[in-house]
Amino acid sequence: MIDKTSPLPIYYQLVEWIKGLIEQGVLQPGDSLPSEREYAERFSISRMTVRQAITELVNSGYLYRQKGVGTFVAEKKIEQQLMGLTSFTEDMKARGMEPSSKLVGFEIVPAPTYISEQLTIQEHAPVYEIKRIRLADGIPMALEKTYISANLVKGLTEEIVQNSLYHHIENQLSIKIDEATQVLESSVATQQEAEYLNIQKGAPILLIQRNTSLKDGTPLEIVKSSYRGDRYKFTITLKR
Ligand code: 16G
């Protein structure tokens, strides 16, 4: 398993070996890993090398450390294609997971300036401010703050936004959603995000801002989503 005559660095060989065990299911999510000392003795390598390998696997989301307890195999990340203007509900259903939302804020407020500018509505015009924790199979995946003009999308209720917003807009209101621009940015969890998402403050977060519009160019929503870095990875296909 570890070939000391190989030109590949030993830590890298250990990384690949542990990854292999996880991918083959020999190591399952939640399993605890042997200690650094055990690995070091088993392969006659230094603890420093083992630590380097484990740290790399923690950073890439295969493992997670729990202070004073040990190192464990993480849940597999959800792989999200950055193609197609889909909703959270559609994304989760497509992978056989049960979507749900926990509403943590729902009110009509006067649009803050930066929102009214992006929605191209009058300053302080009424907008829905919707804050939802998005869950997959009961596990919090993202925190989402949505602004929608209350004059454009009328009659939203707590019940509606606890289900699919896109489904309601398209099927009940017959408003055709057309396109969106997304900006992705890395970040770390604030105290509030940490509480809502059940992660540590300072844990990695992927921020996505989506500005969605209708066919005639009318802006529909401004959404800021904070995705758990330990649960999500995003892929995109590039053509040349
Ligand atoms: C996704 C969208 C969000 C949209 C929501 C609708 C991203 C980054 N964001 O979370 O803009 O409002 O889906 O979901 O994908 P719903 O129809 O399930 O309420």
Ligand 1 in reach of 88 Cβ (< 6 A)? yes
Q: What is the pLDDT of residue 230?
A: 86
Q: Are 142 and 135 in contact (CB under 8 A)?
A: no
Tens digit of pLDDT for each residue in 127-162? Answer: 999 999 999 999 999 999 999 999 999 999 999 999
- In angstroms, what is the span from residue 135 Cα to ligand 1's centroid? 12
Alpha helices, H only, the chain:
10-23, 36-43, 47-59, 88-94, 113-119, 158-162, 165-167, 191-197
Q: Are 43 and 29 in contact (CB under 8 A)?
A: no
Q: What is the pLDDT of residue 29?
A: 94
- In angstroms, what is the span from residue 57 Cα to ligand 1's centroid? 30
Report which of 201, 211, 198, 207 is spatially closest to residue 232, judged by C-alpha positions: 207
Q: What is the pLDDT of residue 48?
A: 97
Point out the ligand 1 atom lying closest to the alpha carbon of residue 208: 8
Pocket test for ligand 1, best of 130, 149, 161, 223 (most atoms within 8 A of CB): 223
- In angstroms, what is the span from residue 144 Cα to ligand 1's centroid? 8
Q: What is the pLDDT of residue 200?
A: 87
- Cα–Cα distance, 63 to 11 (Å, whole number): 15
Tens digit of pLDDT for each residue in 179-219? Answer: 999 999 999 999 999 999 998 899 999 999 999 999 999 99
Q: Are 189 and 209 in contact (CB under 8 A)?
A: no
Pocket test for ligand 1, best of 88, 128, 165, 185 (most atoms within 8 A of CB): 88
